[in-house]
Every structure is written in structure tokens, then in C-alpha cells.
Amino acid sequence: MTADLYIRVSTDEQASKGYSQRNQEEVLRKYCALQNITIRQVLLEDHSAKTFKRPVWTKLLAYLKRNKYKSDLVLFTKWDRFSRNTGDAYSMIDILRKLGVEAQAIEQPLDLSVPENKMMLAFYLAAPEVENDRRSINVINGMRTARKAGRYAAAAPLGYANCTDESGKKYIVPVEPCASAMKWIFEEIARGHYTIKEIYRKALLKGLKGGLNNLYIAIRNPVYCGKVTVPKYKDEERRLVDGIHTPIISEGLFYRAQEVMDARKVSPVSEATKVDSIDQLQLRGFLICPICSRKLSGSASKGRSRHYTYYHCFKGCPSRYKAKEVNDTVEQELTDKFPQALYRKFYIECITKAYKLAHKDDHDSRMDIVRQIRELNTKVANARDLVASGVFDVNDFTIIKKESEEKITRLEAQIPDLIEACRNLETDLTVCFSNLKFAFRKYVNGSNITRRAIIGACYPEDLMYDEGRVRTARVNDLNYNIALINKELAEQKKWTTEELSRLSIRVGNEGFEPPTPSV
């Protein structure tokens, strides 16, 4: 008789140490020597026995199908080396029998031609399967307990690393520069200027590690704002708990990013702008055609001595403009949108005053959030009363309660950001104008990606070039007010903040026709 010896280990540790494999092989070889069985080959497997989708076993089965009756036996030490799934084991035994091969465990021998022995086989196969199921339940319960305690019991997401404390408990910590890159990603998503793919490409330069698919999963994970998800299990609903790890972003920023992502999911045609474009065509993707309102493309055509670049529409539309003329027009107009160093203190005073005027009832925003939260709590209470009176059933109440709690969580997350925004206004403006002082210089001398980033920040809406000028439906509030102040200050030698208090903090009328602000 000829036999194939099948040796399987159940863990990576056993495979690395090797004692389990050596022990099984020694026992099997002694058995074959005593029974005068010829060994055709020894097969070593390091794979789970939950299914038969194992590399070595797959190769063995393929060989047996190609060479029927070349082997008489497949020998292993115990039935749990063969399989830990009762249904799959019975099916595989039938397949082997049709190939003229008998599966046999030398330490648990069974004559399967005797019907009663199938009961013992069921026991041998069911015992390891029950053990696997019990181990799986213990793992699930352990992970849920850890999550309820605020520990992230899984592989660390992008920007974090797994660590173990002195007691052996797992936790995660932010790692740089990936953590800062993830924070930047959430900020860019919340702004809504660029697509996820374009943000991902730039984030790689900032130190992000991981693929695009991993990023799509990561930006939906509340772990970044300090929360740990306890998934739904049996009668327990899904919920969020405060994590023991250090958050990378605030809750408000996380939920703002989710709202942007949800909006793009509903409307697949995103209005976000691509980041990259070839040199001299930095406005491609920002310009729209004045005739058909489609986004203008751009290309370069070869002349006698050099290439000439143009912004143009698509086939059937005659719109075509020299790229240099359009670029120069935008660059010239941008000079008015950035602060002059001489007036920096004045800018800060004007914007601070305008902000306080617009938020003179600053707590109104917070009170509005509190009002919405109170209404949602009342809605849940009313639903509970309707359940008690028999008007609603429990399922209706559960749906209302879950939706209301999710809205309350998002509303509560906005309050700290509102308070922080008011507290840090003057400090943030000082830093902002320090950066803006060099923004125009970076636009002129920077890379194409830098120029496009500045354009996207200054002009939230598309641009339209027509008759030697560029128009837009809306200019960034900050740049628009800077342009108004620059114009006002240029017309008078003496000025005070009181004299400029009449400057509008409103952006401009919508639409592409006058009085739309000229870029």
C-alpha cells in the first residue's frame, strides 16, 4: 500500500518551533514501518483547518485527481489534523473515496465501512469544531469588553501604532508624520475643495502610509476623534464610547468631514477640483466656458520655435484663450486679494470687529444647538409615551431613538469648536496674516500644485474668463474683505477703523453677471 503523510500544525508558533511537525512525522513514519506501508510523500501544512482551502491540501487533491489510484491512503495523526469542520470533512472523505483514497487517523482509527463508526467519526470531528466555536466566542467577548473600556482592540488604523502596557493590555498611540497627515486629510475633506484621490496623492508627500482603499476606510473611523466603536451584537445596539487613546482631531472636524463625504456619496458628480495640472495651465479645472458653462480643458500646441498653451472648450464650442493672458489676468487681480504688510494690524482690527458684529449674539449658535438637542430629547420622550400608550411599537421607537441619538452626538460635537473659535480668534488671525503675507510670493514663484491650492482657497466657486477679465460667483470671505480694505486705504492717506466700519462683510451677489465681484 502507498500513503501520503499529511502533517498540519494549528498555529504559527508551532510551525516556527517545529516540534509539532517533527513529532507528527515521527509517529506517522513508525506506523508505516510497522504496517509495511510505502510512503510516497510527506506534506507539511501550516494553515487553519476550518476549511479545506489550504495551499498544500489543494495541491495534493489536484495530484490525486490527475493520478487516480496512485495512492491508497492519506494518513494523519488525529482527525483534527484533517479538519475542524464536520460538514466539510464528510464531503472531503467522499471525494477521496471516489478517487480510490482512504483518509485515516492513526491515533483514532476507524473502519468507515462499518456504519456505526460514523458516529465516532462525528464525535472526533465535532469536538475540535466546538472548541473553535468556543474560542471564537471568547475572542469576540474579549474584544467587546476591551472596546467598552475604550481600548481599540484591532490593528492600529493609519496614523496610529499598536502598543502594550506593563499589564499586557493593548492600546494605540499616534505616530508621526502619518498622524499629522491624517489630521490634514480630515481638514481638507471638511473644506470640500478637492477629491479624495487628490488629497491622498498630496498626503503621501506629507508622510501618509497606506493605500487609497485603506484611506477610504480610515476616514469613516471615529477613532481619530477619540471614540471607539462597539459594534452591534445580538441584542446590543452599535454605540460609541470614549477611547483611552489620544485623538488626532476634534469631534466637530470629524463630523464635518462625514457630512462632506455623505454629500458626495449622494451626488457622485463631485464639484471638488483636481490638484494637478501641467505647467502654464494651473487654472484648468477652475475655469468654465462662458458659452456652454462646461469646465474648460487645456493643452499645448507646438509652434515653429516653442509650445503655446491654451485654455479651450470641447468639440463644438469655439471658446479658446491664450493661457498666458488668462494667467496674467488672474495674477494681476490676485495682488488685491492679499494683505499688505503695512496694514496687517489694521486688517486684524477690522476683521475682529466684523466678526464680533456678526456674532454679537455669539451664544445664539450654541443656544440653537442646545435647542435642537432639547427638541430631539423631547421627540424621544414623546415616542416613549406613544409606545406606552400602544400607538407605537418597540421597533418604531428604536428607530426614532437611534436616529435622534446620532443627531445629538453630532450636535454636541460642534459646541467645543464654537467655543474654541471665539477664544482663539485674534491669535489665529495673527498667524493667518503672517502666512498670507507670503502667499502671493508663493503663487508667483511656487510649484503648479501650490498655485492651484491658492486659487482653490481664494475662489470657492468656478472662474469665468471673458473679454479680458475674470469673474466668479464668490470670492473667499477673507480675501474679499482684504480687497475692499486695500481699495479703501489706497484712496486716503489718513484712516481709522471707525471710518472703515461701513465696509460690507458680505461676499457678493451670486451669479456671473454684474454686480458680481471681479476677480
Return the C-alpha cell found at 371: 435647542
**Which contiguous run of DSSP H or E holds residue 6?**
strand 2-9
Distance CA 339, CA 471 (A): 21
Whole-number pLDDT of residue 359: 62
The burial class, CB within 10 Å (0-12 / 13-18 / 19+), for 358 is exposed
Cα separation, 397 vs 51, whole angstroms: 42
pLDDT single digits (tens) 301-323: 777 777 788 888 887 888 888 88
- Dump pLDDT digits (tens) for 167-210: 778 888 999 999 999 999 999 888 887 888 889 988 999 999 88
Q: What is the mean pLDDT of the chain?
A: 79
Q: Among residues 331, 333, 345, which one has the least CA distance to residue 433? A: 345
Divide the 519 residues of the chain into consecutive groups of 10 and give the mean pLDDT of each group: 86 52 87 91 84 89 86 88 83 89 88 80 77 78 84 88 84 91 91 84 89 90 90 83 89 87 58 53 83 84 77 85 86 78 73 68 67 86 84 82 84 69 68 73 77 80 82 76 72 55 45 41
How many whole angstroms separate alpha carbon 80 and alpha carbon 515? 81
CATH code for the part of the protein at 2-134: 3.40.50.1390
For residue 515, is the peptide bond before it cis, meaning its omega torsion is within 30 degrees of 0?
A: yes
φ/ψ of 490, rounded to 5, equals -70, -20
Closest CA to 470 of 280, 283, 275, 317: 283
- Grid cell in block for residue 112: 468507515
| Inter-residue contact 84 to 132 (CB < 8 Å) | yes
Give the angle 87-90-94 at the CA atoms, nearest 5°: 140
Domains of the chain, by residue range, sit at 2-134, 174-266, 344-432
What angle is formed at CA 70 by the lines to CA 64 and CA 73, rounded to 5 degrees? 75
Predicted pLDDT of residue 75: 92
Cis peptide before 177 (omega within 30 of 0): yes
Cell digits for 121? 467519526
Domain 174-266 has CATH 3.90.1750.20: yes
